[in-house]
Structures are given as structure tokens and as C-alpha cells.
């Protein structure tokens, strides 16, 4: 057995032990205070286990104190400075079994058989140990509460929101890998489809995800408690264990995020260490899980309410105001990660003539059908908005102008190919669109993109309509 704490956790007498964690500085003070007590002390030297201690105290109680550094029994919480695990017990049988298992010298074991004084008094040793344990537990609880402070979470969405959630996790736990598998990603990040996950990983740029088996997801939700994954490579809950092993994950936790019966997502935390979680770790993780679920739930409610004001009622696309806000965010994101993005401006050709010919009711219906055609012609992550009147705007993340031209041409052909009901007799009308395309090459800001796409669109309007044109910095196509 490579860890005292792991041995205790797996023993049948684990309920006779008290377990907690202290920083290296706090442990030094505790051991110093214990050694100063008027009692018999036997300390077992552990040359093969640097930083670990086995101390057997005897006043009118026999107390075995076991300590070891985080290298032997890592904690999932990283809020400690050089954390150490501490375990102590006064149960004679448990002490005897432990000392026997770890080959304690005979003179140490003899202490167990000496007579004890009046046991009605409370041992100063236990007062010190119980006080240190309660203080350590209180500090962990405070750290967890502090990590869950809401700040301005409700005002965020998209990438900044998930970075915010990830920051909460790293502040308290700081695992080597974080993955948030949201039930409805588009509730938090516009355009993200079901199955999309957010990751914080040292393996940047690699599309590697911890995939749960179909049976495990509902089971994890039903448990409603943190689930410890002792070995990710062989766990039945994980489908791609062999691939996960390449990331050198040794252990982890799966935290179901649900509130009042609403399944919100699963938080996946993995470490490159063999964690040895204790009962207090599970309690703090449960506290953190509930806090994260509540935060996620209220964020979803807020964003849904906010988006009701961002949707165009006729076309069910996003409106002009929300488009400008998303364009600003996507432009900043593309600049930050040095990615391309494209903007397409679309205008329905001769829409006034269609309205005058068939009436405004037919025009409204045709407008919504054109919107639906555009939406079906692009990816889930692409942002489609009604810019105003019969104009539409599309934001294409990680697409350059050349590929944006291909997308625009696909949309143009799709709109031209269909017919539109014009009245109760179901007579059919046709429509065409004009498109202007640009990308963020050398653009100073979002307004540059709009101006370029508008110029390309106006050129098409002057040169026959039903065309697609690209304009980038100094280039037209």
C-alpha cells in the first residue's frame, strides 16, 4: 500500500478514524503543540516515507496520529499550501491493527497494554486534534463559499461565461482538465448545438473529450452526488478510456449539475495524480456542486429572458441590436485567438415590388420563409440575424472571405430555387437575394466589417442583383 490514508480509507475500521487536511505550516504548529503535552510519546521513524509521521501519544487516552504529504495522498482541493493529510484514532483495536500492518516496533505496541488513568477527563491531545480538524473543515467550507461568489455572472454569456465557470473551478480545485457538458449549450452560447462541450485543457488545439457511456449519464444525474472516478482508463462510465490514457489522467470526479429536477450539465474534473479523497472532500464537493448548479440555473433563466428581447418576432432570428453585440464579441474573440471570421450582408431583391404585387401579409410570410432558408443553409454555430427590413446579417466564425463566398452562394441558390406562397389560392412567387461578403483581415473593428460588406452589397445592387460579391482590405471579387 503506497499511502497511509488510502489504507485507512479501505480498511473496515475507517469509521474509527478522524481525517482532515492541513497546510505544511499548520501541521508543523499542530505537531509542536502535541509534543509539548505532558504525555508519553513514541514516534516511529519513517526513513522510506519522507514527510510522513506516525506518533503514538499516551496520557489517559491512547491516540495514534498519522500524517503524510500530498505526494502520498493528493487532495482534489488545491486551496491549501503544501497540503498534508492527518488521521487520528483512539480505538485500541484499530491502533493495534494499524501498527501491525505497518510493522511497528514492539516497544511502541507495548504502550497499548499499559494501564490508563481516569478516562472521565477529556484528553488535551484530543482537544488539540479536534480543534485543528474543525478549524480545517471550517476553512475549506469558507474557501468553497468564496469560490462560488456570483459577481457579475448573470451579465455574461458565450465564451466569457464558460471561462467564468472554469475560473470558479480552478480557484477551488485547479484540476488538470475541466470539461462542462451542458444539456442545452445554446442556452449559454448562441449557436452551440447539443453535444458541444467546453474544455480547459493543457492539450490546446486537440479535439479530445472525455466521452461518457450512454448508460452512465442518467445514472450520474440520478445519484445527485459527486462521483469519484478512480481509474479513468478502465472506468465503465467512460467510453474512450484508451484515448484518455494518453492524457495521463489517473483519477477524477463527475459532478451532476441539476436544480429542482432540471438537468443542466455534467462537470468533469480530471487529475494526473491518484487522488485519495476523504469524507470532508466529498462534502465540500457536494457544496460546490450545488452552488455551481444554482449559478448555472439562474444564468440560464436570465439569458433566456434576455434573449426574448433579442429575437425578431416575424422571422424568429436575432434582431439588429443583438447582432451588433455578437459581432463585437466574435470580432474580439477572433482577434484574441488569431482566427478568421466572415460577415455576410444579404438583401432581398425588389422586395417592395413583391409587397406591392402580393400584399404585405404575403410579404411577411415570404420574409419568414427566406429567413428559415438562410438558417437551414448554415452551421449551428453561425449567427443569423434580421438586420432590418428585408436585410439579413450572418456571422461565420473561423471562416475566411473565400469560404464565406461559397456559403453566400449556397444561400443565394437555395433562396432562388424555392417558391413562396402569395395568397389563399396558393399562387407562387419567386425571390432572389444579393450578398456582400467580407472577413476580418486588417479590419480595425466591427464597423469596418459592416462597411466592407455593405460596399460589396451595394455593388451587386448596381450591377444586376442576384449575385454574390466579396470585399476585403484592398481586394474585391
CA distances for 7 relative to 140, 151, 276, 445, angstroms: 24, 41, 10, 60
Task: Give the burial class of 50: count Cβ atoms within 10 A of its Cβ; 0-12 exposed, 13-18 middle, 19 or more buried.
Answer: exposed
Whether residue 273 lies in the annotated active site: no
The C-alpha cell at 148 is 462560488
Which one of 390, 409, 424, 477 is the catalytic residue? 390
Residue 339 · residue 449 · CB < 8 Å: no
Nearest Cα to Cα of residue 228 among 178, 167, 278, 172: 278
Rounded Cα distance, 164 and 183, in Å: 18
First-to-final CA distance of the chain: 70
446-462 helix and 320-337 helix, angle to the nearest 10 degrees: 120
| Cα–Cα distance measured from residue 443 to residue 332, given in angstroms and rounded to the nearest whole number | 11
Q: Are 280 and 9 in contact (CB under 8 A)?
A: no
State the pairing for strand pair 468-472/433-439.
parallel
Q: Look at residue 207 and give its three-state secondary structure.
A: coil
- Which helix (H) or strand (E) segment holds residue 298: the answer is helix 279-308
Residue given cell 505497518 in the structure block:
102
User: Active-site positions?
Assistant: 390
Amino acid at each position: 500500500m503506497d499511502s497511509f490514508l488510502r489504507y485507512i480509507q479501505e480498511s473496515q475500521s475507517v469509521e474509527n478514524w478522524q481525517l482532515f487536511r492541513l497546510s505544511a505550516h499548520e501541521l508543523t504548529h499542530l505537531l509542536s503543540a502535541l509534543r509539548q503535552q505532558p504525555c508519553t510519546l513514541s514516534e516511529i521513524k519513517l526513513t522510506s516515507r519522507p514527510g510522513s509521521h506516525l506518533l503514538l501519544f499516551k496520557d489517559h487516552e491512547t491516540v495514534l496520529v498519522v500524517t503524510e504529504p500530498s505526494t502520498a495522498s493528493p487532495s482534489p482541493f488545491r486551496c491549501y499550501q503544501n497540503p498534508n493529510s492527518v488521521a487520528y484514532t483512539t480505538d485500541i483495536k484499530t491502533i493495534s491493527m494499524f501498527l501491525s500492518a505497518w510493522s511497528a516496533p514492539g516497544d511502541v505496541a507495548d504502550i497499548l497494554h499499559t494501564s490508563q488513568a481516569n478516562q472521565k477527563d477529556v484528553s488535551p491531545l484530543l482537544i488539540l486534534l479536534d480543534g485543528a480538524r474543525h478549524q480545517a473543515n471550517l476553512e475549506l467550507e469558507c474557501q468553497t463559499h468564496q469560490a462560488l461568489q456570483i459577481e457579475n455572472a448573470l451579465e455574461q454569456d458565450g465564451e466569457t461565461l464558460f471561462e467564468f465557470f472554469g475560473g470558479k473551478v480552478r480557484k477551488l480545485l485547479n484540476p488538470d482538465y475541466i470539461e462542462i457538458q451542458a444539456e442545452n449549450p445554446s442556452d449559454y452560447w448562441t449557436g452551440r448545438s447539443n453535444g458541444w462541450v467546453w474544455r480547459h485543457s493543457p492539450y490546446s488545439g486537440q479535439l479530445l473529450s472525455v466521452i461518457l457511456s450512454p448508460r452512465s449519464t442518467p445514472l450520474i444525474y440520478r445519484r445527485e452526488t459527486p462521483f469519484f472516478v478512480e481509474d479513468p482508463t478502465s472506468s465503465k462510465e467512460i467510453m474512450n478510456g484508451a484515448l484518455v490514457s494518453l492524457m495521463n489522467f489517473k483519477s477524477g470526479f463527475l459532478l451532476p449539475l441539476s436544480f429542482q429536477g432540471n438537468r443542466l450539465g455534467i462537470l468533469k474534473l480530471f487529475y494526473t495524480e491518484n487522488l485519495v479523497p476523504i469524507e470532508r472532500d466529498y462534502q465540500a464537493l457536494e457544496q460546490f456542486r450545488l452552488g455551481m448548479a444554482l449559478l448555472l440555473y439562474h444564468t440560464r433563466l436570465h439569458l433566456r429572458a434576455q434573449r426574448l428581447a433579442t429575437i425578431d418576432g416575424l422571422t424568429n432570428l436575432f434582431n439588429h441590436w443583438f447582432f451588433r453585440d455578437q459581432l463585437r464579441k466574435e470580432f474580439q474573440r477572433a482577434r484574441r485567438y488569431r482566427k478568421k471570421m466572415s460577415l455576410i450582408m444579404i438583401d432581398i431583391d425588389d422586395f417592395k415590388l413583391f409587397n406591392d404585387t402580393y400584399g404585405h401579409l404575403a410579404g411577411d410570410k415570404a420574409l419568414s420563409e427566406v429567413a428559415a432558408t438562410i438558417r437551414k443553409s448554415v452551421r449551428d454555430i453561425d449567427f443569423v440575424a434580421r438586420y432590418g427590413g428585408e436585410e439579413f446579417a450572418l456571422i461565420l466564425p473561423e471562416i475566411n472571405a473565400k469560404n464565406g463566398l461559397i456559403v453566400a452562394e449556397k444561400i443565394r441558390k437555395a433562396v432562388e430555387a424555392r417558391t413562396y406562397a402569395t395568397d389563399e389560392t396558393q399562387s407562387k412567387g419567386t425571390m432572389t437575394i444579393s450578398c456582400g461578403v467580407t472577413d476580418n483581415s486588417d479590419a480595425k473593428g466591427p464597423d469596418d466589417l459592416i462597411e466592407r460588406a455593405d460596399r460589396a452589397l451595394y455593388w451587386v445592387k448596381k450591377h444586376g442583383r442576384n449575385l454574390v460579391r466579396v470585399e476585403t482590405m484592398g481586394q474585391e471579387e
